[in-house]
């Protein structure tokens, strides 16, 4: 049986019209990615996350929980939490 029949079926449904636009436009994807990147860098502003990229596997695994603790502390001490 294999997957050949399934692939043929999918290709019949995947018309020439739909092949022209797969996913979202590249410009839109890049804009969204940059916006999300800015959000993350703002959340981690002031935190040294370089060990995540340069550390041992153990250090890499322990880094994200530290980010969460840092972010919680940052929010507790921000002017936003006092509103």
pLDDT, tens digit, 9 for 90 and up, residues 9-49: 777 776 666 666 667 888 999 999 999 999 888 888 888 87
Residue 46 gets the label, from left (phi > 0), alpha (psi -120 to 50) or beta, of left
% of the chain surpassing 90 pLDDT: 14
**Per-residue confidence (pLDDT) for residue 11, from 0 to 100:** 76
Closest CA to 47 of 22, 75, 26, 16: 75
**Per-residue confidence (pLDDT) for residue 23, from 0 to 100:** 75
Question: Domain spans of the chain?
Answer: 24-82
The total of other beta-carbon atoms located within 10 Å of residue 51's CB is 13
pLDDT value at 83 more than 50: no
Distance separating the N- and C-terminal Cα atoms of the chain: 64
pTM as predicted: 0.49
CA distance 31 to 38: 11
């Amino acid at each position: 049986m294999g997957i050949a029949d399934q692939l043929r079926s999918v290709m019949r449904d995947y018309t020439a019209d739909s092949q022209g636009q797969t996913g979202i436009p590249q410009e839109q994807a890049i804009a969204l990615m940059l916006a999300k990147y800015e959000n993350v860098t703002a959340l981690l502003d002031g935190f040294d996350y370089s060990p995540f990229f340069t550390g041992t596997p153990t250090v890499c695994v322990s880094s994200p929980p530290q980010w969460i603790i840092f972010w919680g502390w940052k929010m507790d001490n921000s002017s936003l939490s006092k509103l």
